Chains A and B, each alone.
Chain A
Amino acid sequence: MSVTTAADGIKDIRTPLSDADVEALAAGDRVRITGVIYTARDAAHGRLFPLIEKGERLPLDVKGAIIYYTGPSPARPGDVIGSVGPTTASRMDKFTPALLALGLKGTIGKGYRGPAVKDALREHKAVYFGAIGGAGAVLSRHVKRVDIVAYEDLGTEAIRRLEVEGFPAIVLNDCRGGDLYQDGQKPYAREGA
Chain B
Amino acid sequence: MRDIHVSAITDAVKKLCMEANWSLEPDMLRAFDRALATERSPAGKQVLTILKENAELARTRRIPYCQDTGMVVCFVELGQDVHITGGGLVDAIDAGVSQGYREGYLRASIVRSPFDRVNTGDNTPAVIHVDVVPGAALHVMLMAKGGGCENRSKYRMLTPAEGVDGVKDFIIECVRTAGPDACPPLVLGVGVGGTFEKCAILSKRALFRELGTPNPDPTLDALEKELLERANRLGIGPQGYGGDTTALGIHILTYPCHITSLPVAVTIECHAHRHKEVTL
- Give the size range of B's interface with the partner: 35 or more
**A110-B239 in contact given A70-B67, A83-B64, A135-B54 (Cβ < 8 Å):** yes
The dominant DSSP class at the B interface is loop
Check A189 against B234 for contact (C-beta < 8 Å).
yes
Residue of B nearest to A135 (CB): B54
Check B233 against A134 for contact (C-beta < 8 Å).
no
Residue of B nearest to A74 (CB): B105
Check B239 against A132 for contact (C-beta < 8 Å).
yes
CB neighbours (8 Å) of B235 from chain A are 185-190, 193
Shortest beta-carbon distance from A98 to chain B in Å: 22
A76 to B107, CA, bound (A): 11
- Judge whether A166 is part of the interface by a CB distance below 8 angstroms: no
A156 to B105, CA, bound (A): 12
A162 to B47, CA, bound (A): 24
* A interface residues, how many (CB within 8 angstroms): 45
- Judge whether A178 is part of the interface by a CB distance below 8 angstroms: no
Check B47 against A136 for contact (C-beta < 8 Å).
no
Residue of B nearest to A192 (CB): B233
CB neighbours (8 Å) of B68 from chain A are 71, 85, 87, 136
Check A110 against B183 for contact (C-beta < 8 Å).
yes
A90 to B240, CA, bound (A): 14
CB neighbours (8 Å) of A88 from chain B are 148, 151, 181
A70 to B66, CA, bound (A): 11
* Interface residue from A72, A75, A137 paired with B57 (Cβ < 8 Å): A137
Interface window among B87-95, B241-249, B252-260: B241-249
Shortest beta-carbon distance from B19 to chain A in Å: 15
Check B63 against A111 for contact (C-beta < 8 Å).
no
- Judge whether A16 is part of the interface by a CB distance below 8 angstroms: no
Residue of A nearest to B184 (CB): A133
A148 to B67, CA, bound (A): 18
A74 to B105, CA, bound (A): 5
CB neighbours (8 Å) of A180 from chain B are 241
Q: Mark B66-83, 1 if CB is under 8 A from A, else 0.
A: 111100000000000000
Chain B interface residues (CB < 8 Å from chain A)? 40-41, 43, 47, 50-51, 53-54, 57-58, 61-69, 105-109, 117, 119, 146, 148, 151, 172, 176, 179-181, 183, 230-231, 233-237, 239-244, 270-272
Q: Can you list 24 A-B pairs with a CB-CB distance of less than 8 A?
A: A73-B67, A74-B107, A76-B61, A76-B62, A76-B63, A82-B64, A88-B148, A90-B181, A130-B180, A130-B239, A133-B270, A135-B54, A136-B54, A136-B64, A136-B65, A136-B66, A137-B54, A137-B61, A137-B65, A183-B242, A185-B240, A185-B242, A187-B242, A189-B234
Chain A interface residues (CB < 8 Å from chain B)? 43, 70-76, 79, 82-85, 87-88, 90, 110-112, 130, 132-138, 140-141, 155-156, 170, 180-181, 183-193
